[in-house]
């Protein structure tokens, strides 16, 4: 018997840990809305990320910097309503956690309370140690994010491969180790050399999820609009397109327009 309206069947961080130990790869995709979340959850994706890439994909901004905590909560609450099984991780947006652990804790708690998400993701290592610690102390699962961290794009100036040099690679390894010691349940590694990602995944016991980090990690994440081919412009080497929805949607909409213009739609059967 449960006091909740449905049995709790959401994947746990403990199960994700077990998947790494068994060698079963973790599948993760972004989602920003209810309809998409419903489809991805029913298809069996293990983790849904309400990414701050919503800033680009949903709102049309150039970077992830403009999206607000309120907007992230709106997207996350919509995703949570579509989920029966997937673990929902929500990105803390730029400006909601950096350099102020009290604000970080407040932001994470707002996300948990107001969206019903299951955990949060923060970009960075040693610089955000206090924030990660305080959020974890509140019992909120934290996913780390190292390598290409888009919220600090203006510090680097490009979206090129990260940690190609030894010094940067060693800092990434140290940061990953630190995030594990603090108690993070998983880490995303974005756009780094395959061999470095392998080293981190072998060294750490928590799951390592890659995007442009090669095959030797414990799971993969992609932006769903990219892998479905809704976006046409974004085509980095790490992206595999599993559908060409841009063409499918354009054809469907063109057919609809033609049918409206030609008065083929609606027919009497489609009327009352």
Ligand X SMILES: CC(C)C(=O)C(=O)O
Using CB under 6 A, pick the residue from 41, 46, 91, 218 that binds ligand X.
91
CA distances from 245 to 73, 139, 206, 226, 241 (A): 27, 39, 35, 10, 10
Contact track, ligand X, 33-72, x by CB under 6 A: ----------------x-xxx-------------------
Q: Which is closer to ligand X, CB of 142 or CB of 211?
A: 211
**Which among 54, 26, 49, 25 is positioned nearest to 37, based on CA atoms?**
49
Question: In the chain, how many H helices and how many E strands?
Answer: 11, 8
Using CB under 6 A as the binding rule, whether residue 134 contacts ligand MHF is answered as no
On the CB side of 122, CA atoms within 13 Å amount to 33
Using CB under 6 A as the binding rule, whether residue 220 contacts ligand MHF is answered as no
> Quick check: 79 and 31 in contact, CB under 8 A?
yes
- CB of residue 139 vs ligand MHF: minimum separation in angstroms? 28
- Give me the residue label for tokens 């994909």: 57
Q: Tokens for 144?
A: 């780390």
Q: Is 52 annotated as a binding residue?
A: yes
Residues within the interface to Mg ion (CB under 5 A): 51-52, 91
Residues within the interface to ligand X (CB under 6 A): 30, 49, 51-53, 91, 188, 190, 211, 221, 223
Residues within the interface to ligand MHF (CB under 6 A): 53, 56-57, 64, 148, 150, 158-160, 191, 223, 225-226, 231, 234-236
């Amino acid at each position: 018997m449960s006091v909740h309206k449905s049995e709790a069947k959401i994947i746990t961080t403990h199960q994700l840990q077990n998947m790494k130990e068994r060698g079963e790869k973790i599948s993760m995709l972004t989602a920003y809305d209810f309809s998409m979340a419903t489809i991805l959850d029913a298809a069996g994706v293990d983790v849904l990320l309400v990414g701050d890439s919503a800033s680009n994909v949903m709102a049309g901004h150039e970077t992830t910097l403009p999206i607000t905590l309120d907007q992230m909560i709106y997207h996350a609450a919509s995703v949570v309503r579509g989920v029966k099984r997937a673990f929902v991780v929500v990105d803390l947006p730029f400006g909601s956690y950096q350099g102020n652990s009290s604000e970080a804790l407040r932001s994470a708690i707002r996300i948990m309370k107001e969206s019903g998400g299951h955990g949060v993701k923060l970009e960075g290592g040693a610089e955000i140690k206090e924030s990660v610690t305080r959020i974890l102390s509140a019992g909120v699962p934290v996913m780390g994010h190292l390598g290409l961290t888009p919220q600090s794009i203006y510090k680097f100036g490009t979206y090129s491969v990260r940690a190609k040099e030894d010094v940067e690679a060693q800092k990434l390894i140290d940061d990953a180790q630190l995030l594990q010691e603090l108690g993070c349940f998983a880490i995303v590694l974005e756009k780094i050399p395959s061999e470095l990602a392998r080293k981190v995944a072998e060294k750490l016991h928590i799951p390592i999820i890659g995007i442009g980090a090669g095959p030797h990690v414990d799971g993969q994440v992609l932006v769903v609009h990219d892998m479905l081919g809704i976006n046409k412009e974004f085509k980095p080497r790490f992206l595999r397109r599993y559908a060409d929805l841009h063409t499918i949607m354009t054809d469907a909409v063109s057919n609809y327009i033609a049918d409206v213009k030609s008065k083929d739609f609606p027919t009497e059967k489609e009327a009352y």
